[in-house]
């Protein structure tokens, strides 16, 4: 049986990137609820993200979204992050909010619109150069709503051409990660609907291009851990966008809807060498906190990932492979379930204290007064929100 002391050092490798947009107001197409104390600019978003890291030690990076997080001088934002003990991470492009992109961006039938979308990504890479970011993450809203609306094959070819133009500008130490999503906002077809399409596109680009797996972007019942295994096996899993879904792209707190699924995913991550600083797999959150407070929502999220990582690390690999080799179906299953049912929370609280972190980051945040402070101070100005 693997014990907690065996995995304690590995837990120190955990780093989860926070999305800047999680700290702004968000909602559904029915309503965006405003909360008090919400950041009014990228500096305040980074300050909130730094709170999560300060209390958990788990979240050293903040992912930006361009143009939402555009500032006059990215060097100043970079130093601001450093002063607060975090750094700026993945840059997310945005080709889903301009009128020109109604019929697509990198796949649009009109070459001038495609050029504009490519140029936007090149601007994003300029930002990456300024802030020292490694990953450009591309998620496209491209697709069609009606059969016959556009030529599926031609769109795929245009996508390949546009991606190649972006990839040509990716620096030596940078990477392009292409996210897939099986539907929405397009409903008949999506141009990058599944891991296979993303894999085919990034493989054609080269060694610095990878797939991004957003856990919310699959049909119900999809075996996501199988996809994780396969992408790791192929050396093309670049990053995760973690979140939870009950129905669609719900962007709820990771591990909230199906903790067992998160465990199974992390078991395959660890099995496939996707865990740890040198693995090349970035753990990110892609979430919105529509009705709960945002900072504790993010704290809860990174703790959920840590708890399931600890349980996945506890799997007795030797006992598992012995049982698998022997064809011991129930024995192998029991090894996995023993780890899953281990309550690691008390051991993690001690682990945190031994590193000078609060035993309960949730309680520490509630007691810190930070929420009251931002609610009192952040008055006036335009609150940041989804799309702003
Ligand atoms: C839209 O589905 C989305 O949630 C994608 O998952 C992106 O990663 C995210 O927005 C940010 O652009
Ligand atoms: Mn995502």
pLDDT digits (tens, 9 = 90+) for 71-104: 999 999 999 999 999 999 999 999 999 999 999 9
135 lines ligand 1 (CB under 6 A): no
Phi, psi of 143 (to 5 degrees): 170, -170
Residue 388 in this model has a pLDDT that exceeds 70: no
In sequence order, which residues have a C-beta less than 8 Å from that of residue 11 and are 6 or more positions away? 306, 309, 310, 313, 348, 351
Closest atom, ligand 1, to C-alpha of 93: 12
Question: Per the structure block, which two tokens stand in for 220?
Answer: 């119900």
Distance 241 CA to ligand 2 centre (A): 5
Contact status, residue 157 vs residue 201, Cβ threshold 8 Å: no
The third-level CATH classification (topology) of the domain covering 11-313+368-377 is TIM Barrel (3.20.20)
pLDDT tier at 105 (50, 70, 90 boundaries)?
very high
Distance 301 CA to ligand 2 centre (A): 15
214 lines ligand 1 (CB under 6 A): yes
- Judged by its nearest atom, the ligand closest to the C-alpha of residue 285 is 2
pLDDT tens column, 118-163: 999 999 999 999 999 999 999 999 999 999 999 999 999 999 999 9
The closest of 287, 351, 341, 275 to 314, measured between CA atoms, is 341
In sequence order, which residues have a C-beta less than 8 Å from that of residue 5 and are 6 or more positions away? none
Distance of alpha carbon 266 from alpha carbon 336, whole angstroms:
12
- Strands 189-190 and 237-242, by their bridges, are unpaired
User: In the chain, what percentage of residues exceed pLDDT 70?
Assistant: 99
150 lines ligand 1 (CB under 6 A): no
Residue 175 in this model has a pLDDT that exceeds 90: yes
Which stretches of 272-328 are DSSP H helices?
294-313, 317-325
DSSP characters over 60-94: -EEEEETTTT--S-HHHHHHHHHHTT-EEEEEEP-
Residue 51 in this model has a pLDDT that exceeds 90: yes
Question: Per the structure block, which two tokens stand in for 135?
Answer: 């990953």
pLDDT tens column, 309-327: 999 999 999 999 999 999 9
Contact status, residue 174 vs residue 138, Cβ threshold 8 Å: no
Tell how many helices (H) and how many strands (E) occur in the chain. Answer: 14, 10
Total residues belonging to the chain: 388
Residue 293 in this model has a pLDDT that exceeds 70: yes
In sequence order, which residues have a C-beta less than 8 Å from that of residue 204 and are 6 or more positions away? 160, 164
Distance of alpha carbon 111 from alpha carbon 141, whole angstroms:
17
pLDDT tier at 26 (50, 70, 90 boundaries)?
very high
pTM of the entire predicted model: 0.98
Closest atom, ligand 1, to C-alpha of 184: 2
Distance 226 CA to ligand 1 centre (A): 22
Tell me what pLDDT residue 387 has: 64
Closest atom, ligand 1, to C-alpha of 216: 6
Contact status, residue 351 vs residue 9, Cβ threshold 8 Å: no
pLDDT tens column, 238-266: 999 999 999 999 999 999 999 999 999 99
Q: How many CA atoms lie within 13 A of 383 on its CB side?
A: 19
Average pLDDT estimate for 207-231: 98
Tell me what pLDDT residue 47 has: 98
Closest atom, ligand 1, to C-alpha of 92: 12
- Strands 87-92 and 135-138, by their bridges, are parallel
Residue 56 in this model has a pLDDT that exceeds 90: yes
How high does pLDDT run on average in the chain? 97
Average pLDDT estimate for 187-213: 98
pLDDT tier at 386 (50, 70, 90 boundaries)?
confident
Domain boundaries, the chain: 11-313+368-377
Average pLDDT estimate for 279-286: 98
The closest of 69, 79, 170, 178 to 129, measured between CA atoms, is 170
């Amino acid at each position: 049986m693997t014990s907690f002391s065996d995995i304690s050092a590995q837990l120190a490798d955990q780093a989860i990137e926070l999305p800047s947009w999680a700290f702004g107001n968000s909602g559904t197409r029915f309503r965006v609820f405003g909360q008090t104390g919400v950041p009014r600019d990228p500096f305040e978003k980074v300050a909130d993200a730094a709170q999560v890291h300060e209390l958990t030690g788990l979240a050293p990076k903040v992912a930006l979204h361009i143009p939402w997080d555009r500032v006059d001088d990215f060097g100043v934002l970079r130093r601001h992050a450093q002063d607060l003990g975090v750094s700026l991470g993945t840059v997310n492009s945005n080709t889903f909010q301009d009128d020109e992109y109604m019929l697509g961006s990198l796949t649009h039938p009109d070459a001038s619109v495609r050029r504009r979308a490519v140029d936007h990504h090149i601007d994003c890479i300029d930002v990456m150069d300024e802030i020292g970011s490694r990953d450009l993450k591309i998620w496209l809203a491209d697709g069609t709503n009606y059969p016959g609306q556009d030529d599926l094959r031609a769109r795929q070819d245009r996508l390949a051409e546009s991606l190649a133009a972006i990839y040509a500008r990716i620096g030596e130490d940078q990477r392009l990660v292409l996210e897939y999503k099986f539907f929405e906002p397009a409903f008949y077809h999506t141009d990058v609907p599944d891991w296979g399409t993303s894999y085919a596109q990034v493989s054609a680009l080269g060694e610095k291009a990878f797939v991004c797996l957003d856990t919310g972007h699959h049909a119900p019942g999809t075996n996501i851990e199988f996809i994780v295994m396969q992408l790791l096996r192929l050396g093309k899993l670049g990053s995760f966008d973690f979140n939870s879904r009950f129905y669609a792209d719900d962007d709820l707190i990771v591990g909230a809807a199906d903790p067992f699924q998160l465990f199974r995913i992390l078991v395959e991550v660890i099995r496939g060498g996707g865990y740890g600083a040198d693995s090349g797999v970035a753990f990110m959150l892609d979430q919105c906190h529509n009705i709960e407070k945002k900072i504790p929502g993010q704290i809860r999220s990174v703790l959920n990932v840590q708890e399931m990582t600890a349980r996945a690390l506890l799997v007795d690999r030797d006992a598992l492979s012995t049982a698998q080799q022997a064809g011991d179906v129930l024995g192998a299953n029991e090894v996995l379930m023993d780890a899953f049912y281990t309550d690691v929370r008390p051991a993690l609280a001690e682990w945190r204290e031994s590193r000078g972190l609060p035993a309960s980051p949730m309680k520490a945040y509630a007691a810190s007064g930070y929420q009251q402070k931002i609610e009192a101070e952040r008055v006036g100005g335009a609150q940041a929100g989804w799309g702003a």
